[in-house]
Amino acid sequence: MQVRSFHVDPLLVPYIDSIWTFQTETTLSSHDIRTFPPNAKPKLLLPIRGTISCHINHRDGEHAEARIMVVGAMEGPVVLNCGPNTTLGVEFRPGMAYPFLGVSMKDLLNAAYSWSTIVGRMGQEVEWQIEDTPVIEEKVSLIQRFLIQRLYALSNEDRLIETAVSMIQSTRGLMSVASLSQALGYSKQYLERKFREQVGLSPKTLSRILRFQAAYHRWMAQPTSKVSWQAYANLYYDQAHFIKEFKHFTGFSPLEYTQQVNEFMQTFYQP
């Protein structure tokens, strides 16, 4: 398995976290749990070679070869499977897919839709152009050019959400919704509505995911070690809280997780 990263156009850096390809020449092992914990980053996924099957929110789905899928923010883990495969992924920053899609992000929560369903005929034309382009670097350039065009065409950025998400990120999810509301000068109810529309998640859920990701990133740097909540005491107030959150976002208790094989995720979390 191999993950390759690509340069993000400077115009897209405020919105896109990463662009990558995942490649494997073999079928993913049945012993590998192949589980992605949520990271609050909506994605575009394009299987260039082979298909991807997924289990999202108790439902099974398949991403067809040469067709772009829009994957919304997730509240729980996603299990993926594939045979020999090359997939191109574009990961947006939390809250930053909305300016490009023109649809409510709450409708994409825990779900995946075809690119053409979201952006119509233009989306199909981009897919055809990408399919006719054999070089991966050129495929990446095509999709970035289209996203830049979409950004200028829709012009629906919201600095409030950008600022709010940035504040939550800067505290690794430890900022309370009450503190966020007070700092921004808007009611909790108003922020909740805006977050649901443009992030897909409530401020509280986004905070929980970012807090878990801060712990998960640290642990994945040494995944063979025992997961101990004391190492994350600055993020969780007691062991029961840590175990509950870990199980919610991975499907396993910390002890169970250390006994699993998850080479798939380790490929993405390599330092």
| CATH number of the structural domain spanning residue 25 | 2.60.120.10
CA dist 167 and 34 (Å) reads 31
Whether 248 is covered by a domain: the verdict is no
- Model's pTM, two decimal places? 0.90
Whether 138 is covered by a domain: the verdict is yes
Q: What is the pLDDT of residue 268?
A: 77
| pLDDT tens per residue across span 2-50 | 889 999 999 999 999 999 999 988 887 778 888 889 999 999 999 999 8
Q: Which domain holds residue 50?
A: 2-154
Question: 191 with 204: CB under 8 angstroms?
Answer: no
Whether 200 is covered by a domain: the verdict is no
CA dist 235 and 173 (Å) reads 8
Mean pLDDT value across residues 64-89: 90
| pLDDT tens per residue across span 153-172 | 776 677 899 999 999 999 99
Dihedral angle sign, alpha carbons of residues 77, 108, 112, 147: negative
Question: 206 with 168: CB under 8 angstroms?
Answer: yes
Q: What is the pLDDT of residue 270?
A: 64
Whether 269 is covered by a domain: the verdict is no
* Residue 225 pLDDT grade (very low, low, confident, very high; cuts 50, 70, 90): low
Whether 117 is covered by a domain: the verdict is yes
Whether 100 is covered by a domain: the verdict is yes
Backbone angles phi, psi at 195, to 5 degrees: -65, -45
Whether 73 is covered by a domain: the verdict is yes
Domain count within the chain: 1
Whether 80 is covered by a domain: the verdict is yes
